[in-house]
Amino acid sequence: MSRTADVVIIGGGIQGAAIAYHLTQRGQRNVVILEKETLASGCSGRTGGMIRQHYSTGLVTEIARQGRDFFATFDQVVGGHSGWVQCGLVLMVTGKDREALEHNIALGRKHGVPTRLIDEEEARARVPGLNTEGAVAFGFEENAGYGDGYGTTIGFATRAREMGATILQATPATAIRLDHGRVAGVETPGGTISTHTVVNAAGPWADRIGRMAGLDLPLKLELIEEAVIHVQAPDTYPIDTPSVYDFVNGLSFRPEGTGHTVVAEGSSYFKGELDADGYPTQPSDRYIEDVSVRLARAMPRLASGTPRGGWAGLLEGTPDFHPIMGKAPGVEGMILCYGFSGHGFKEAPVTGRLIAEMILDGRTSIDISPLAFERFAKGELLRSKYKDDPVMA
C-alpha cells in the first residue's frame, strides 16, 4: 500500500472516530483512521457510559455541556445507536466534599447546566431506596444520562466512512516519518501513508506513538472495573432512575438494559503495573464482591441482587487527570488528543470537533490552551475540587 492522506488519525476509539466524523462533515474527505485492532476495542468499548456535566473547571464543564447536548440528538444527526438515555444524576457527599459539590454546581449553572443543590428528602425521592446516611449535601443534574461507548464509536466511524474517510482496522502505525522536524508520513505493515498531519488519538498507546516522533509524552495507566448487578424480580430498577455518585460509599451506579440491571463502579482503582497490550478485561471476583457490598449499603433494596460479572478497561490519564489537546511541541504536523482519564466518552462529540477546527481553521471555538502539553513544564496543572477523587475532575 502506498497512498497519501490529508490527515491520518492514529487510534480507532471514540476520539479518533469523532475527529474523523467532524473532519468529513467539514468537507475533508481524504482522512484515514489507523486502528491496530478493531474499532472501540480499547477503552472506548469498556466505558461505564455516564454522561454528566459536573466538573471543577469552566473549560471542561463547557465541553461536557456541549457534549451532552450532542448526545441528545446523536442518533438523528449522526446515525447509529449511541444508547443515550436521559435519567438525571444525584450526587451525595460527606462534609469534606461539600465545598467541591457547591463549587461545581455553581459553575455548572454559570454554563447553563440545569443543576442545583437539593435536600436529603428529594434525593431519596428521586432514587427510591437510596440510603443517605453519612451524607451532608446533595446535588441534582436534571439532564445527565448515560450511553453506549461502542455504539457511539461505531456511529461516528460509520458516518465518517460514508462521507469519504478510510478506516483501516488491524493496521497499526509502526513508525512516523519526519522531514526536518515535520510529519511526512506514517508507516504501517501494508506500506507508507504520506501525510503532513497526524493526530495521536491512541489512548493508552499514545506514549508509544509519541516516541515514534521523538516525543516523551506523559501517560499513566489504571484499571477501571465495572460490576454488573442483576436485580432479581419482583424488584425492578427503571432505566430512567437517576445515576448516583455516592461519595459516602465510594461508589457510582446507574441503570442499564430492561429495568433489572444496575452498573456499579467503585472508586478504588487498580494502580499496579499495567500493560496496554495485556490487561484484564474482566473485573476480579474480589472487586465484584467489594462493589456488591458497597451497593448494598447505598441501596439496601438491591442487597439481594446477583452479581453477573462485568467488564474492565484502562483509564489512561495524565499527571493532572486532564487530557492533552493541541499541537505537539517540536513536531510540526502532529496533533495530540489523549489522556482523558475516563472522561473521553462524554466529551468526544466536542473534543473531536475542536481537533477538526484546529486542523482546518488553525484555531478552536473554545479556548483549549489550558490543555496544551506545555502546561506541565509551566506548572499550570488543572485540578479537581474533589481532592481525594481527582478522576472526578
Mean pLDDT across 250-273: 79
User: 1: pLDDT confidence band, cut at 50, 70 and 90?
Assistant: low
Mean pLDDT for the chain overall: 91
Q: What is the CA radius of gyration of the chain?
A: 21
Residue type, 38: T
**What is the model's pTM?**
0.95
Res 126: pLDDT:
97
Q: What per-residue confidence (pLDDT) applies to 341?
A: 86
Q: What is the pLDDT of residue 314?
A: 80
CB count, 10 Å around CB of 236?
12
Cα(375)–Cα(382) distance, integer angstroms: 9
Q: What is the rounded distance in angstroms from the CA atom of residue 80 to the CA atom of residue 316?
A: 27
Place of cell 459516602: 248
Lowest mean pLDDT among 26-40, 47-61, 309-323: 309-323
Q: With residue 68 as reference, give the H or E element that holds it.
A: helix 58-72
Q: Are the C-beta atoms of residues 312 and 47 closer than 8 Å to each other?
A: no
- CA nearest neighbour of 366 among 351, 378, 379: 351
Q: Which helix (H) or strand (E) holds 109?
A: helix 98-110
132-146, 222-236, 346-360, 374-388: lowest mean pLDDT where? 222-236
Tell me the average pLDDT across 22-47. Answer: 93
The confidence score (pLDDT) of residue 390 equals 65
Distances (CA, A) of 344 to 63, 114, 245, 357: 11, 22, 18, 18
Task: Calculate the alpha carbon distances from 305 to 162, 242, 257, 262 in Å.
Answer: 43, 19, 15, 9
Which carries the bigger pLDDT value, residue 310 or residue 102? Answer: 102
CB 339 within 8 A of CB 205: no
DSSP code of 54? -
Report pLDDT for 270: 54
Which one is predicted more confidently, 130 or 43?
130
Lowest mean pLDDT among 38-47, 102-111, 153-162: 38-47
Mean pLDDT, rounded, for 33-60: 92
In this predicted structure, what is the pLDDT of residue 286? 85
Stretch 225-231: mean pLDDT: 69
Per 3-state DSSP, what percentage of the chain is helix, strand, and coil (rounded to 5)?
30, 25, 40
Helices vs. strands in the chain: H and E counts, helices first: 10, 21
> Coil, strand, or helix at residue 299?
coil
Nearest-angstrom CA–CA distance, 251 and 266: 5
The one-character DSSP state at 242 is P
pLDDT band at 348 (very low <50, low <70, confident <90, very high): very high
Average pLDDT, stretch 139-167? Answer: 97
Question: What is the pLDDT at residue 42?
Answer: 86
Q: Average pLDDT for residues 114-119, to the nearest whole number?
A: 98
Q: For 272-324, how does the pLDDT look when each residue is reduced to its tens digit (9 = 90+)?
A: 667 888 888 888 888 888 888 999 999 998 888 888 888 888 888 898 889 99
Q: What is the pLDDT of residue 113?
A: 98
Whole-angstrom Cα distance, residue 330 to residue 88?
Answer: 44
